[in-house]
Structure 1
Amino acid sequence: MEDRIKELIELTAIIIEVVGILVMIIGIFLALGRFAFKRQGTEIRSFQKIREELGRAILLGLEILIAADIIATVVYGAKIGQILNLGLIILIRTFLSFTLEVEIEGKWPWKQKRSRTTGQK
């Protein structure tokens, strides 16, 4: 019974990893497709807009991959080497997420004037 649960969790981690990769791939193709046609409604799309869309697709994919890494580490055991490896992966992906967020928004997260959830100043 325990082996079946472990296999199910391993499969779940793999599926989540695939979803994270697909999110990035689909997001990239959507952004490039929109940019290639240069028009969305009456507005001409800018280079900055494609960079924002690409960054958001990568950010979302990275967040999903972090979740998959955490699940996979729990399944494979909590040896110190694996925990350190997971910590390093999460640190690198968090740094990438942070720098992408700064690149997209154009300012530090603590310098935001509006609340993201309410849209208020």
Structure 2
Amino acid sequence: MGIEVAGVGIILVGAIAATLVFVYGGLVTVGWPAAYHRYRANLGRGILLGLELLVAADIIGTVAVTPSVENLLILGLIILIRTFLSFSLEVEIEGRWPWRRASTEGHESGGERRPERL
């Protein structure tokens, strides 16, 4: 249960921190459009980290009790759903498919890396 609380806490702290950085960036540094892009990426990172802990808590919870076929099927479904969410968030943050990362990194020349559009 402690890992679940930590996962939810990380999501909440990540959301609050991303919001504060967004407001500061919009008002002071980069302007609202760039701050919004960073906000989405930072918010996604916080959610991803929290989801990883929640998946770990589910695995530990299933192993800690007497594993039954029903418990294992429920765990598998939860992991499948959370993995899909994590994959979707990763694509949203990076702006490209994960398997495109290696092919685009070799073609980029100096400067800041720009995500490929989907």
- 1:22 — aligned with what? 9
Shift of 1:43: 3.5
Q: Which runs of 5+ in 2 are unaligned?
A: 107-118
SS at 1:87 equivalent: helix
The one of 18, 40, 51 equivalent to 1:31 is 18
Q: How many residues align?
A: 102
**TM-score under structure 1 length normalisation:** 0.78
Q: TM-score, normalised by structure 2?
A: 0.80
Q: Does the CA contact (< 8 Å) of 1:34 and 1:40 recur in 2? A: no
Q: Deviations over 1:50-101 (max 9, x none)?
A: 0000000000000010000000001111100000000000000000000000
Shift of 1:39: 5.5
Matched, 1:84 2:70: no
Tell me the C-alpha RMSD between the 2 structures: 1.8
1:56 matched residue in structure 2: 45
Partner of 1:71: 60
Task: Give the AA of the match of 1:93.
Answer: R
Cα distance in 2, alignment partners of residues 96 and 42 from structure 1? 31
Alignment correspondent of 1:7: none
Q: Is the Cα–Cα contact under 8 Å of residues 14 and 46 in structure 2 kept in the other structure? A: yes
Unmatched runs of 5 consecutive residues or more in structure 1: 1-13, 116-121
The one-letter code matched in structure 1 to 2:54 is L
Is the Cα–Cα contact under 8 Å of residues 4 and 57 in structure 2 kept in the other structure? Answer: yes
